[in-house]
Amino acid sequence: MSQAGFPHSPTTLTIDLDAIVQNWQFLCSRTGHGRSAAVVKANGYGLGLSPVARSLAAGGCKTFYVAHLDEGIALRQVLDKSDIRIGVLNGLLPGQEEVFLEHRLWPSLCDPGQIDRWAAFCRANSIPLPALLHIDTGMSRTGLDRTETADLIDNPDRLQGIDLRFVMSHMACADDPAHPMNREQQQRFADAVNRLPKATEGAMLAASSAIFLGSDWHFDWVRPGVCLYGVRPNTTAPNPMKPVVTLQSRILQVRQIDAPESVGYGASHRAEGPTRIATIAVGYADGFLRSLSNSASAWLGDIEVPLVGRVSMDLVTLDVTAVPTAQAGDTVTLIGPNQDVDAVADKAGTIGYEILTSLGARYARSYVGGVA
């Protein structure tokens, strides 16, 4: 176990690195081919790029994806071995070609201009350089649109000089297994892959949720992200992923109030009778969202204690009347066995992604297992 972050914080975020590796291995086993990358963008989904990536590499992962070029540079500094491949999903801006080459990063080519620039750069260096080709099949964000994809099919020489490793796309509704767009995107992608020049490592469509749609979505590789970190792939079945994070905080103060006293900003909660209020050092500056005001819970041992009043920047207040022995220094659990990341997200009216990537930098961080 290793420590990081704010060592004197009364709030600790515990990250199980072994669980992340086991989740990656489990997702590999969901495919018939066992070929899986790992997405570690946004600082390893908020859990720490270096310990997450190093642990996954030690567990067997050799291909990683990030969103931004600077994330790729940071990851290359963590994983500098020649067998580690790093792709950057957000594309290739003009003037970045030398940077990709210097740090041995693969750009995702998302429009014809990016294809042309990378091909010209490869020819200028007299060497094929790796890249991914991203085609849009329904997200309307990045990637070649229908017309651009058709043009590339008709003019495959535009890829000349490029070491094309993957053709990829991204799903819009994979977390809803019944959504008809899932099959539409799969068929559209399969049709494009069959008509485009072959990539040396094949086609890649499924991220986390799409892995659970079935083998038709697995193609040659998968690239899980949020499921590695314990977030559920969809809401239609029990979560098969191992939990990764635990968030606990020590009580700062306990006070007794009575009706009609109020709690917190805006007096949004008023005591209806004798009430014991515990204050803990978690707030929206730490990623505990303001939308959790008067709706979240924590646990003191096996007893649920509701959050009352508004979530403020640095503090929240809990009704611990049901635990008459509660006192300053006691530990409450906000994310753990009784309430996972997705349960907190449901109460906040958001998704597990947002909770996970928002968990604050002011916590003490405790890494368990892995290579921290």
Q: State yes or no: 168 annotated in a binding site.
A: no
Residues 140 and 171: their CA atoms lie apart, in Å, by: 11
CA 20 to chain centre: 12
Residues 334 and 319: their CA atoms lie apart, in Å, by: 14
Annotated catalytic residue: which of 65, 265, 353, 367? 265
Residues 352 and 363: their CA atoms lie apart, in Å, by: 19
Instruction: Note whether 85 and 53 are within 8 A (CB).
Output: no
Instruction: Name the token pair of 217.
Output: 């979505």
Vertex 152 angle, CA 68 and 190, to 5°: 80
DSSP state of 49: H
Task: Mark whether 41 is an active-site residue.
Answer: yes
Instruction: Name the token pair of 180.
Output: 């008809």
Q: How far is CA 11 from CA 5, 303, 345, 363, in A?
A: 11, 19, 19, 5
CA end-to-end span of the chain, whole Å?
Answer: 8
Cα within 13 Å of Cα(125), Cβ side: 16
Annotated catalytic residue: which of 41, 65, 284, 363? 41
- Closest C-alpha to 263, from 282, 250, 276, 281: 276
Task: Mark whether 347 is an active-site residue.
Answer: no
Vertex 17 angle, CA 13 and 18, to 5°: 135
Region of residue 126 (left: phi > 0; alpha: psi -120 to 50; beta: else): left
Q: How far is CA 120 from CA 89, 101, 299, in A?
A: 20, 13, 59
Instruction: Note whether 285 and 362 are within 8 A (CB).
Output: yes
Catalytic residue positions?
41, 265
Binding site for substrate, by residue number, is: 141, 313
